[in-house]
Amino acid sequence: MAINELRAIATFGKAVELGSIRRAAVAQGVTPQAASQALAQLEAHLGVRLLHRSTRSLALTEEGQRLLETTRPALAALERALSQARESKDEIAGPLRIVGPRSSFSSILMPVVDEFCSRHPDVHPDIQLDDGKSNWVLDRVDVGFRIGSSADEGVIARRLFPVQLMICAAPSYLQRHGAPKSLDELAAHRCSAFRHPATGQVLPWYLNIDGEVVHRHVVPTLSTNDTELELRAVLAGQVIGEVANLAAAAHIRSGALVPLFPQYMSSHIGVHLYYGSRAAQPRRVRAFIDLAIERLLDTPTYVLSAKELKAAASAAPGTRRAR
């Protein structure tokens, strides 16, 4: 059924209910001329007269009576459905579909989700963590997080904080093997590398040298497609690794990790929040976006200052600062 036919039937029902085409037009937010035209078009489409109308009154024809009796239950159900949809838009309740990267992100996302659910217990999060790229439409995503901005059309991306990639080692590794004094000396050390989960390719380390992002390939003693496992290997003193602030910030602050060559730290990518147009979002989605931005935008919890990095690099036992 075309939408103009549906509106015409609704106008017909409302005119009978209120006893006036003019009142039906006001109730539906259209002009009396538009309401009269809709009824005339419906009668022409059906090939029957539905109403006897004069300047002061309306009366149903036999065909009109049958149409009213047949369509009234459907129109009432439709009105209830539309009313429920309007009300649900303003409720902070219902499902909330969230996607994000698997690597090192659950510890960042969970505090936000926990606080949100404590405030709004009628919201039911459905969270999918995957290092692959999500399909916004097919996955029915409400809110997404991504390392790097999304290239999907119609998606709004908001950068939350930079991803700081830092060469780090545990104090136990430095006590056993000493600290490299230059980037070239890394070739003589046990290093780890991350293997891309989708392609299987061993990724280089990313360094910021004189303002440019430089790829430095290492011969890995250990390679893995799991960032958590790589971090554990670095914390255990098995290898030197390039790790991200998402997981490493707390360990650097506690002294469990020592940043090496902080002057070469790269922060060319960031963690982004992405979502569709806010104009048609349910209130629960808008509320979660607002909380995520409030808690994660340039958060000092995960972003290390230059002062912190310098202090951590120079204060760790067994290290010698690079020149």
- In tens, the pLDDT along 155-181 reads 888 999 999 999 999 999 999 999 999
Binned at pLDDT 50, 70 and 90, residue 96 comes out as very high
Phi, psi of 256, deg, nearest 5 = -75, -20
CB 271 within 8 A of CB 160: yes
Question: Which segment of 13-22, 72-81, 203-212, 234-243 scores lowest on mean pLDDT?
Answer: 72-81
- pLDDT for residue 15: 81
As a whole number of angstroms, the distance between CA 102 and CA 129 comes to 5
On the question of pLDDT at 113 being above 70, the answer is yes
Share of the chain above pLDDT 90, in %: 50
Residue 197: both structure tokens together? 């989960």
- pLDDT for residue 134: 60
On the question of pLDDT at 40 being above 60, the answer is yes
Strands 212-216 and 205-209: antiparallel
Question: In whole angstroms, what separates CA 30 from the centre of its chain?
Answer: 39
User: Which CATH code is given to the segment(s) 94-323?
Assistant: 3.40.190.290
Q: Mean pLDDT throughout 34-40? A: 85
Q: Mean pLDDT throughout 253-272? A: 94
As a whole number of angstroms, the distance between CA 271 and CA 172 comes to 31
Q: Mean pLDDT throughout 264-277? A: 91
Domain(s) of CATH 3.40.190.290: residues in the chain: 94-323
As a whole number of angstroms, the distance between CA 252 and CA 247 comes to 10
Share of the chain above pLDDT 70, in %: 87
Domain(s) of CATH 1.10.10.10: residues in the chain: 3-89
As a whole number of angstroms, the distance between CA 42 and CA 34 comes to 12
User: Which CATH code is given to the segment(s) 3-89?
Assistant: 1.10.10.10
The per-residue pLDDT for range 223-237, each reduced to its tens digit, is 999 889 999 999 999
Binned at pLDDT 50, 70 and 90, residue 132 comes out as low
CB 267 within 8 A of CB 165: yes
Binned at pLDDT 50, 70 and 90, residue 320 comes out as very low
Average pLDDT, the chain: 86
Binned at pLDDT 50, 70 and 90, residue 322 comes out as very low
- Report the predicted TM-score, pTM, of the whole model to 2 decimal places: 0.68
Question: In whole angstroms, what separates CA 82 from the centre of its chain?
Answer: 27
